[in-house]
Amino acid sequence: MARRRVTTIQKGKDEDVRMMAALAAVGVMSIVLFSVFIISPPATVGPNEGELAPDFVASAYNGGEWDEFRLTDQFDRDWTAGEDGKFILIQFMDSDCPYCWRDGETMSELHSQWGGKVTFISIAVELGIQGHGSDRDEIEAFRDKTNYGTDSNDGNGCNSGGSNCVERPGSAHAWNYVDDYNLNILRDYGVSGTPFMVLLQPDGYVAWNQGQSGGLMNIEQALQTYVEGN
C-alpha cells in the first residue's frame, strides 16, 4: 500500500495567519467606531439651549432626610421628541432672596399644574450679598414652610432674615432641594443671580434657558411650549 503524504504547516506560518486575522479584526472595529463617531458625535455639555445639561452629584433634602442626588439619574436616554416623558425644571434659589421668597407661591402653582409631567428640582445657593446667610435648617424650613426665625428683621429666618420661614408665600414644596452652598452647580450653569430657571427635556438636553430667552418667554410660556407642545 502506498503511503499518504502528510502536509504540514510550519509553526511560524501558522502564527502569521493568526496575526493577520487579528489585525483585520482590529481594522474592521476601528472603521465601525469611526463611523459611529461621525454619525453620532459626542454631545456638547453645557447650560445653553440644545446642549446636554451638566451633571452634578450633591446632597438633597426630600422632606424627610438628606440623600445623595444625581441629576443624570433623572434622564431618560431613550426619549425622543413626541414621546411621553418627564421634563425637568431646575430652579436656582436663595432662601434669603426676596424675589425667591415671592416666587415660592409661583413655584407651588407651577408644581400643582405641571407636577405630573415635570420633575421639579430647586438648587439652594447662598449669594455673596450682605444679609444672606443660610444653612440646611433654613433650606428645610423654606421648603416645608415650617417655623424658623422671626419677623423682627433681626437676621434670623428667611427673606434676608426678615421673615419667619413659615410665612413664605405658597404651599409647602414637595420636591428635592439640593444643597449648593459651595456654588459649584451655580458656576457650571453660568448663573449670576436668583431666581433662575432652566428647563430640560427628558433626555437631559436643555430646552429653555432663562438667560437666553431675553425676556421673550417666561417659565409659564416655556412649559406650555415645550411640555404641552411635545
- pLDDT of amino acid 9: 47
CATH class of 57-228: alpha beta
3-state secondary structure of 49: coil
- pLDDT of amino acid 34: 47
DSSP secondary structure letters along 130-181? TT----HHHHHHHHHT---S-SS-SS-SBTTTTB-GGG-SSPPP-SEEEE-T
The 10 Å Cβ neighbour count of residue 85 is 18
Radius of gyration, CA atoms only, the chain: 27
- pLDDT of amino acid 124: 97
Q: Is the pTM of this model over 0.75?
A: yes
The three grid cell numbers given for residue 69, joined into one nine-digit string = 442626588
Give pLDDT tens digits along the chain (230 positions).
555 554 454 555 566 656 665 555 555 455 544 443 445 568 899 999 999 999 999 999 999 999 999 999 999 999 999 899 999 999 999 999 999 999 999 999 999 999 999 999 999 999 887 767 789 999 999 999 999 987 665 567 899 888 999 999 999 999 999 999 999 999 999 999 999 999 999 999 999 999 998 778 999 999 999 998 86
